[in-house]
Each structure stands twice: as structure tokens, then as C-alpha cells.
Structure 1
Amino acid sequence: MWLRPNRSLSRRGLRRWSAVLVGVTVAVATLCARAGNVYAPLFALVESAAVVYALTLAWRAGGRSERITIDERSLEVESLPGHRRATFQSYWVRVRMRESGNRQRLVLTSHGGEVEVGAFLGEEERVDAMHRLRVLLAQQTAPRRTN
């Protein structure tokens, strides 16, 4: 199971949108400079760099993901990038929502250990992930019938 944030803009789209924003900023700064505001081009340069940098940081944050692997013996959570891993015995894992300030956290707990998953997801996506995880765990840990 992959948990990824909703990213609606590609790298190419980010570049295009940044170019449009910089173009509009430069056009407005040019008009303002012609009207007598000699500091407008300098301000436009600084603002354009800051906006492009902020958009790039926000886009990179959308590249986070978590891979959850479940089988009858274990549940493993791998966070990307960073390759942080947590492994639990799947039979003992409990999937819970915990209140933390003004938001809910999706937490997997087992034998005193816990790991938060889906911190980058929205509330509805976290609830959906909780239900899917519970179903997958129930399927994997259910006793097998042999005829």
C-alpha cells in the first residue's frame, strides 16, 4: 500500500506556472518603473526569487511517500525519502486515530512501539487509509481454513 500526498502539478507544470508568475511580476514592475517607482524592478526581482523558491519547496514536499507492506507475519512501514523503516508483527498491530492538538494522527501501535503514518495526507485521506489498513490487516491475520 502506497501513501502519497495529492500532487496535481508536474515538474513541467511548476516551471510553466513559475514562468507565468515571474512574467506578470516583471510586466507590473516595468509599468511601475515607467510611472516613476525606480525600486519596483529590484522588488520584483527579490519577490520573484522568493515565490519561485517557495513553490519549489512546496512541490518537493509533495514528493514524500510511505510504503506499507503487510503479510501474515509482519507489517513494515518505509518512509521515502529518508528510508526510515518500522517493522511490527502484523497480528499485534493496532490501527488508531489519536488526537494531537487540532488534528488527528493515524498511528500504528504494537508492543509499546508506535509509528505515525500519513502525516502528509488530508483528514479524509487519513480516515480512508485507516479503514484500508484495518481491512488489509484483518485479511492477513484471519485464520486460514483448509478443507
Structure 2
Amino acid sequence: MNTKASNAYGWESPDIIHKYSVIWHSRLSFILKEIEFLKNLLNNNIFPIVESHLVDKAETYLEELSELKKEVSKLLKDVSNHKNGVKILFVKHEPNQNDWDYKHEHRKLMIKMHEFDSKYQIIKKDIFRVVKDAIRHQKQKRIA
């Protein structure tokens, strides 16, 4: 029986780790642009937001977006450093502590990315909900 042996972390190869790092970098770069879009969305719909008394929520989300932008910048830097460090796994040698440390760092980064993405998706959904409610309120007011 031919079974594929894998290490305790379950990573089959450094290629997979590198692939994840590239995907994270791309995702974070996109999120930076998306944060600017969400800020513009809130700022460009300020009149419907004011009329529907959702200003406090909008201001809170603008502050949260600023915090998220800082967090994304830090994560982007961490992912870039991590992506550049993957070369230690490509060198053919006996597995050692550096390999384990790098994989452990990768796992921690994976958890951070997942937590950040979950938080970001919730905020993004809430922002769209506020803008949708504000526009709906404005249309109902126009009809009445």
C-alpha cells in the first residue's frame, strides 16, 4: 500500500504554504481597496444616512474601517515577510527547529487571517445594511 507520509502539521509541501501566503497577500491588498470603497460609500450617502438617523452607526463604522485599515497594513506586512521566508523550507536538508518554527508561524498567521476575515465580513455586511436602510428610508420618504 502506498500512503503519502506527511508531517505533523499536515502540510504536504512548501508549495502549499507559499500558495496560501500569496493568496493572503492578494486578499489583503484587495481588502485595502475595498475599505476605501466602503468609506466612500458611507461618505457619499451621508444625506440619506442623516435623514434616516443612522449617523451614529455610520460614524462608528468609519472609525472601525480606519482601525481595520491599520490592521490590514500590519497583516500585509506580516504576510509579506512570511511569504519571503518560505525559502527556508525549499532547501533540501533534515527537518530542524527553523522549519517547525516557520510552520508554527504559518499556522498562527492562518488563524489571524481567519479571525480578521470573519470580523471584516461582519462589518462589511453591517455597512451595506446601513446604506441600504438609509436609501430605503429616503425612497419611502419620497413616495410619501
When Rg is computed on C-alpha atoms for both structures, the one with the higher figure is: 1
**More strand as a share of residues:** 1
- TM-score in terms of structure 1 length: 0.33
TM-score when scaled to structure 2?
0.34
| More helix per residue | 2
Give the number of the structure with larger relative contact order, counting CA–CA contacts within 8 Å between residues 6 or more apart: 2
